[in-house]
């Protein structure tokens, strides 16, 4: 299935397909005194921007028009453009120009171009009413869409649009003044004086910070801050033009919008219409050359401005200004924001995929794009698929084409056999073997599949997704075919997008790498090189950091250092750190003679997952060798200057330091805490469906068969079992969850509240108790079913024995289900990189599935515990499990014991004890309500 657009979609449908509920339409009624009927204007809000339609008689038309404007802004061509002939496109441009210079358009105070026109009417006499071609090219979506019909490469080249507008205007010589030497248009007859007089409003003078990128004679452009002083009543484009040394705005080119300042204003690059090179001397400065001349940079006298071109993904020649100023659809006031050096560098670095995904805006140096996508809730920031689309748009590529297929893989038995082989071979690089064995195909994708990415696809069926990146002219740029299978189609798509992004990311970061890798066609890569050559300047050998040099606060011996290099934190762990990155300033440089450090980036607390590649590798490698509470300081050589400047708080000062020094970066890191890889994550990788789901399914089946009416889930956690019981029909009337974790109970309450509100289940009451299951509460005495899934191993071993006694001697359920990990199965799980650790002297505890586990039992130990317990309390017990097979060594991954009270045994009387605190309850009669303390004393369960 290829994800390509349907031929018949309307603009609104296309917007819906792209943004779903994130697109919100608001219709505004417009009262026009001259019209008897009401008109409508539509405001369309999308995540990144909003547009406002023109006025229409029908609401639907205004919505379609807004959607069309949004599509044009996104660079997506509505299909009706495909049917437009060249002649029609030219006619449309002519018509549109006529409308732009009409009295009616002048009073359209929503179209940005209307504001330009009004501002230009306030200029001095010679230039009054002259609208720069660059403004028409930059701000009129209609003209742009028609120009795209004439020549699709206009998107890269605003000057082409300007030349087409000029040509079209020449056909309106009775109406518009076109001068061959001035790139601006003016209406021949003056506007009515009353209209012009009404415009003369006083506006405040504005001073804003922008960035000046000077094309120096040396290779690198010089980036400096510049202040744009737009005095009251002046046309802001004239101010920018003059700052670039030009006569006025008619000599300007305006780029597309790109990036955003910290307050969310979009930036544009402003530069001069370039002079043709001397061998093309027939063209004079400021005159627009014929369109075919514009394709080659060598035709211009001014050098190509790499930094400015990289920022806006359009070719810029000569000096340029980056500013966030202009008229928008929102208002007719001039909107503006400062583009500081720092925000410029942030935008500049953000053009690569690594820059878009961030833990926080403060983690420019520390954060990277992770290797794999697990679930939407685990992903921070823009989703990979959206990022890839965004990236393709920035790089002037076609929208990515995803192809989904379902494919069979080796059956589970084969996989288990392969595991045995690996186990027998006891090879050191067993993990790599796993990847090759289980890839299930001879896919050459593996050649760039990172070692750290090992996953064991035990899926028997699933979705595989390929993604192709094509140039606008449909030439193949990248064919990315990861072989992995995923449970859901969307996961396959997101992971394919992520692979493509990761590949582009490494490609841009290491342009010296051989692009001729198998599976990727490189025909278009040269073109990519050309477009992004500046990125090479951005990341000069940045990948080749030196091995971090350790510096410890305390004296360390070589032995200490060696010991510290042993990795103690396994992949999949969630690590919390406080870190700072600074540039070392040499004591010779400092006037005071003291050794100075310039702080570049810091975070008081940042959490990340080990082994997914989302962290700067050096920071991660040091952190995984540390213990909680420990502090480390190390140095790496400097990454690309742009990245340091993007992160720095004082860009000007840091830049001056960097130019004087060749100083390394110094990292200080404090390890605040570590949470082990969650069992859920490990289990989700190994078992499909995930082991936790299999446990819940097992319990639900047992509950259904039991015809029980009351149930307690001991150690209910976030309520995964309780949630399932709301979804399936059972004989249950009352269910209770008990846990000691307030956080988990709060999550359970939230889930129950929303699920019960949907009203589908037949239950009469649901209660959550805060309490320890080591204590007895008489309200739960003699209950039909008690479950205790993956809880006992979170207690000390003697407490697990105590729980066993308490539950069977005091709670006395008819049926008790206990599940706990099978320690023997860990040798299979520990083959995964999730547990991969070079530390051979790991403590016993880190050999468990979770750092919070106090013990894990073998099958024999579990059998012994359960059989003895059952015998002494007059219960029978049966053993079973989920994950793997009970008959094959090492048995089930999760072992289960089902205890049944023997039919002849009496339920003993117990004294009233109610240590548990009801923290949330729901009853069918009263509906969903918060717990009221006065009702708590009564027993909730009738036994």
- Among ligand SAM, Mg ion, none, the one that 740 touches (CB under a kind-dependent 5 to 8 A) is ligand SAM
Can you tell me the distance from the alpha carbon of 52 to that of 896, in angstroms, rounded to the nearest whole number?
A: 62
Q: Which span sits near ligand SAM by CB under 6 A: 165-173, 207-215, 766-774, 905-913?
A: 766-774
At 19, give phi and psi (nearest 5°): -115, -15
790 binds Mg ion (CB under 5 A): yes
Site for ligand SAM in 662-701 (CB under 6 A): 692
What does the per-residue mask of binding to ligand SAM show for 342-381, with x meaning CB under 6 A?
A: ----------------------------------------
Contact 29/306 with Cβ under 8 angstroms? no
Question: Least distance to ligand SAM from the beta carbon of 886, Å?
Answer: 20
For the chain, how many residues are written? 943
Question: Least distance to ligand SAM from the beta carbon of 932, Å?
Answer: 24
Query: Cβ closer to ligand SAM: 749 or 795?
Result: 795
Neighbours of 659 (CB within 10 A): 9
At 612, give phi and psi (nearest 5°): -105, 5
Q: Which span sits near Mg ion by CB under 5 A: 66-74, 209-217, 499-507, 785-793?
A: 785-793
Query: Cβ closer to ligand SAM: 253 or 716?
Result: 716
Please give the helix or strand (H or E) that residue 579 lies within, else none.
strand 574-585
Question: Least distance to ligand SAM from the beta carbon of 112, Å?
Answer: 55
Question: Least distance to Mg ion from the beta carbon of 816, Å?
Answer: 18
Q: What is the CA radius of gyration of the chain?
A: 34
Contact 122/200 with Cβ under 8 angstroms? yes
Query: Cβ closer to ligand SAM: 541 or 809?
Result: 809
Which residue pairs, CB below 8 angstroms and at least 24 apart, start in 328-334? 328/112, 329/50, 329/51, 329/52, 329/110, 329/111, 329/112, 330/50, 330/52, 332/109, 332/110, 332/114, 332/115, 332/118, 333/203, 334/115, 334/119, 334/203, 334/206, 334/230, 334/236
Q: Which span sits near Mg ion by CB under 5 A: 242-250, 440-448, 629-637, 789-797?
A: 789-797
Query: Cβ closer to ligand SAM: 92 or 790?
Result: 790
The residue nearest Mg ion at its CB is: 790
Can you tell me the distance from the alpha carbon of 830 to that of 813, in angstroms, rounded to the nearest whole number?
A: 36
Can you tell me the distance from the alpha carbon of 225 to that of 228, in angstroms, rounded to the nearest whole number?
A: 10
741 binds ligand SAM (CB under 6 A): yes
Size of the site for ligand SAM (CB under 6 A): 18
Tell which phi-psi region holds residue 717, choosing left (phi > 0), alpha (psi between -120 and 50) or beta.
Answer: left
Instruction: Pick the binder of ligand SAM from 3, 122, 196, 744 (CB under 6 A).
Output: 744
Give how far the C-alpha of residue 618 lies from the chain's centroid of Cα atoms, to the nearest Å. 22
Query: Cβ closer to ligand SAM: 148 or 794?
Result: 794
Question: Least distance to Mg ion from the beta carbon of 867, Å?
Answer: 22
Give how far the C-alpha of residue 537 lies from the chain's centroid of Cα atoms, to the nearest Å. 26
Torsion from C-alpha of 928, 931, 934, 938, nearest 10 degrees: 80
What would the two tokens of residue 491 be?
């996961």
Instruction: Pick the binder of ligand SAM from 789, 807, 815, 869 (CB under 6 A).
Output: 789
Can you tell me the distance from the alpha carbon of 464 to that of 481, in angstroms, rounded to the nearest whole number?
A: 9
Can you tell me the distance from the alpha carbon of 456 to that of 79, in angstroms, rounded to the nearest whole number?
A: 44
Question: Least distance to ligand SAM from the beta carbon of 802, Å?
Answer: 10
- Among Mg ion, ligand SAM, none, the one that 744 touches (CB under a kind-dependent 5 to 8 A) is ligand SAM
751 binds ligand SAM (CB under 6 A): no
Query: Cβ closer to ligand SAM: 411 or 915?
Result: 915
824 binds Mg ion (CB under 5 A): no
Question: Least distance to ligand SAM from the beta carbon of 751, Å?
Answer: 12
639 binds ligand SAM (CB under 6 A): no
The residue nearest ligand SAM at its CB is: 717
Question: Least distance to Mg ion from the beta carbon of 822, Å?
Answer: 12
Question: Least distance to ligand SAM from the beta carbon of 622, Å?
Answer: 30
140 binds Mg ion (CB under 5 A): no
Dihedral of alpha carbons 780, 781, 783, 788, sign: positive
Can you tell me the distance from the alpha carbon of 636 to that of 524, in angstroms, rounded to the nearest whole number?
A: 34
Question: Least distance to Mg ion from the beta carbon of 775, Å?
Answer: 21
Can you tell me the distance from the alpha carbon of 404 to that of 385, in angstroms, rounded to the nearest whole number?
A: 14
Question: Least distance to Mg ion from the beta carbon of 850, Å?
Answer: 5
Contacts of 654 (CB under 8 A, 6+ apart): 583, 598, 600, 644, 645, 648
Question: Least distance to Mg ion from the beta carbon of 681, Å?
Answer: 12
Contacts of 883 (CB under 8 A, 6+ apart): 683, 686, 687, 691, 694, 825, 892, 893, 894
Instruction: Pick the binder of ligand SAM from 223, 308, 795, 897 (CB under 6 A).
Output: 795
Q: Which span sits near ligand SAM by CB under 6 A: 203-211, 234-242, 491-499, 783-791?
A: 783-791
Site for Mg ion in 533-592 (CB under 5 A): none
Question: Least distance to ligand SAM from the beta carbon of 801, Å?
Answer: 13
773 binds ligand SAM (CB under 6 A): yes
Q: Tell me the CB-side half-sphere exposure of residue 120, using CA atoms within 13 A.
A: 29
611 binds ligand SAM (CB under 6 A): no
Please give the helix or strand (H or E) that residue 17 lies within, else none.
helix 11-19
Please give the helix or strand (H or E) that residue 696 lies within, else none.
helix 691-706
585 binds ligand SAM (CB under 6 A): no
Token pair 């006529």 is found at: 98
Q: Which span sits near ligand SAM by CB under 6 A: 33-41, 360-368, 435-443, 771-779?
A: 771-779
Tell which phi-psi region holds residue 425, choosing left (phi > 0), alpha (psi between -120 and 50) or beta.
Answer: alpha
Q: Which span sits near ligand SAM by CB under 6 A: 216-224, 377-385, 404-412, 786-794?
A: 786-794
- Among ligand SAM, Mg ion, none, the one that 614 touches (CB under a kind-dependent 5 to 8 A) is none
Query: Cβ closer to ligand SAM: 162 or 789?
Result: 789
790 binds ligand SAM (CB under 6 A): yes
Contacts of 437 (CB under 8 A, 6+ apart): 418, 422
Contact 234/203 with Cβ under 8 angstroms? no
Query: Cβ closer to ligand SAM: 812 or 894?
Result: 894
Site for ligand SAM in 711-740 (CB under 6 A): 715-717, 720, 738-740
Size of the site for Mg ion (CB under 5 A): 1
Q: Tell me the CB-side half-sphere exposure of residue 760, using CA atoms within 13 A.
A: 12
The DSSP string of 528-539 is: HHHHTHHHHHHS
Query: Cβ closer to ligand SAM: 773 or 834?
Result: 773
Question: Least distance to ligand SAM from the beta carbon of 539, Å?
Answer: 43
Question: Least distance to Mg ion from the beta carbon of 795, Å?
Answer: 10
DSSP-based three-state secondary structure for 576: strand
For Mg ion, the binding residues (CB under 5 A) are 790
Query: Which residues contribute to the site for ligand SAM (CB under 6 A)?
Result: 692, 715-717, 720, 738-741, 744, 772-774, 789-791, 794-795
């Amino acid at each position: 299935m290829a994800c390509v657009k349907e031929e018949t979609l309307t603009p609104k449908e296309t917007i819906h397909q792209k943004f779903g509920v994130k697109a919100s339409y608001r219709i505004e009624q417009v009262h026009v005194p001259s019209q008897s009927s009401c008109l409508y204007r539509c405001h369309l809000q999308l995540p990144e921007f909003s547009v406002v339609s023109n006025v229409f008689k029908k609401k639907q038309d205004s919505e379609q028009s807004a959607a069309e404007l949004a599509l044009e802004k996104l660079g997506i061509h509505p299909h009706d453009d495909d049917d437009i002939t060249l002649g029609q496109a030219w006619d449309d441009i002519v018509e549109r120009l006529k409308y732009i210079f009409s009295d009616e358009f002048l009073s359209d105070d929503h179209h940005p171009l209307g504001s330009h026109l009004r501002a230009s009417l306030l200029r001095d006499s010679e230039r009054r009413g002259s609208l720069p071609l660059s403004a028409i090219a930059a701000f009129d979506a209609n003209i742009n869409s028609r120009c795209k019909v004439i020549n699709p490469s206009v998107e890269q080249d605003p000057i082409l649009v300007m030349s087409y507008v000029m040509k079209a205007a020449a056909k309106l010589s009775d109406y518009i003044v076109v001068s061959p030497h001035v790139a601006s248009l003016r209406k021949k007859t003056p506007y009515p004086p009353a209209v012009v007089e009404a415009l003369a409003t006083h506006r405040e003078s504005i001073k804003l910070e922008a960035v000046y990128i000077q094309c120096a004679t040396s290779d690198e452009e010089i980036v400096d801050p510049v202040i744009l002083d737009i005095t009251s009543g002046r046309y802001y484009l004239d101010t920018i033009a003059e700052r670039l040394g030009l006569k006025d705005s008619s000599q300007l080119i305006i780029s597309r919008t790109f990036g955003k300042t910290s307050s969310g204003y979009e930036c544009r690059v402003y530069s001069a219409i370039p002079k043709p090179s001397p061998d093309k001397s027939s063209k004079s400065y400021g005159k627009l050359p014929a369109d075919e001349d514009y394709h080659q940079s060598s035709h211009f006298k001014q050098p190509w401005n790499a930094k400015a071109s990289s920022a806006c993904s359009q070719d810029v020649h000569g000096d340029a200004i980056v500013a966030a100023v202009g008229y928008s659809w929102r208002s007719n006031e001039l909107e503006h924001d400062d583009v500081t050096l720092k925000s410029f560098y942030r935008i500049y670095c953000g053009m690569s995929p690594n820059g878009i995904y961030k833990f926080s805006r403060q983690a420019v140096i520390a954060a990277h794009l992770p290797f794999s996508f697990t679930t939407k809730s685990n992903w921070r920031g823009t989703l990979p698929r959206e990022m890839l689309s965004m990236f393709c748009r920035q790089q002037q590529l076609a929208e990515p084409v995803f192809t989904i297929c379902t494919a069979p893989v080796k059956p589970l038995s084969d996989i288990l056999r392969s595991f045995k082989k690996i186990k027998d071979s006891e090879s050191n690089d067993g993990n790599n073997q796993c990847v090759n064995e289980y890839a299930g195909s001879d896919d050459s994708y593996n050649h760039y599949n990172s070692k750290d990415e090992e996953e064991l696809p035990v899926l028997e069926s699933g979705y595989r997704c390929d993604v192709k990146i094509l140039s606008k002219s449909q030439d193949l740029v990248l064919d990315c075919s990861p072989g992995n299978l995923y449970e859901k189609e969307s996961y396959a798509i997101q992971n394919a997008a992520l692979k493509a992004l990761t590949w582009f990311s490494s490609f841009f970061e290491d342009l010296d790498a051989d692009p001729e890798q198998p599976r990727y066609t490189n025909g278009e890569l040269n073109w990519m090189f050309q477009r992004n050559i500046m990125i090479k300047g951005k990341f000069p050998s940045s990948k080749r950091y030196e091995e971090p040099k350790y510096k410890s606060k305390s004296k360390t011996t070589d032995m200490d250092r060696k010991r510290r290099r042993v990795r103690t934190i396994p992949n999949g762990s969630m690590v919390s750190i406080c870190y700072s990155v600074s540039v070392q300033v040499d004591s010779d440089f400092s006037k005071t003679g003291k050794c100075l450090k310039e702080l570049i980036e810091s975070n008081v607390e940042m959490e990340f997952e080990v082994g997914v590649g989302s962290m700067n590798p050096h920071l991660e490698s040091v952190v995984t060798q540390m213990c909680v509470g420990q502090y480390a300081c190390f140095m790496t050589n400097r990454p690309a200057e742009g990245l340091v400047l993007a992160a720095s708080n004082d860009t000007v000062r840091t830049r001056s330091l960097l130019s004087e020094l060749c100083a390394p970066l110094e990292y200080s890191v404090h390890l605040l805490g570590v949470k082990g890889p969650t069992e859920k994550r490990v289990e989700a990788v190994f078992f499909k469906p995930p082991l936790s789901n299999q446990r819940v399914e097992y319990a639900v089946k047992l509950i259904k068969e039991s015809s029980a009416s009351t149930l307690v889930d001991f150690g209910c956690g976030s309520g995964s079992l309780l949630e399932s019981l709301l979804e399936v029909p059972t004989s249950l009337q009352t269910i209770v969850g008990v846990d000691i974790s307030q956080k988990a109970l709060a999550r359970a309450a939230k889930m129950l509240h929303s699920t019960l509100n949907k009203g589908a289940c037949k239950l009469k009451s649901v209660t959550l108790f805060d309490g320890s299951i080591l204590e007895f509460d008489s309200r739960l005495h003699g209950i039909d079913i008690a479950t205790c899934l993956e809880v006992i191993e979170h207690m000390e071993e003697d407490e697990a024995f105590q729980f066993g006694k308490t539950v069977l001697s005091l709670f006395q359920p008819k049926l008790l289900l206990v599940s706990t990990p099978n320690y023997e199965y860990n040798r299979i799980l520990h083959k995964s990189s999730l547990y991969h650790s070079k530390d051979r002297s790991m403590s016993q505890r880190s050999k468990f599935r979770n750092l919070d586990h106090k013990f894990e039992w073998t099958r024999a130990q579990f059998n012994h515990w359960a059989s003895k317990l059952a015998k002494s309390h007059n219960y029978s017990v049966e053993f079973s499990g989920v994950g793997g097979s009970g008959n094959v060594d090492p048995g089930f991954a999760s072992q289960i014991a089902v205890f049944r009270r023997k039919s002849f045994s009496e339920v003993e009387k117990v004294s009233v004890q109610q240590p548990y605190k009801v923290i949330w309850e729901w009853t069918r009669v009263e509906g969903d309500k918060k717990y009221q303390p006065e009702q708590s004393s009564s027993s909730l369960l009738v036994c």
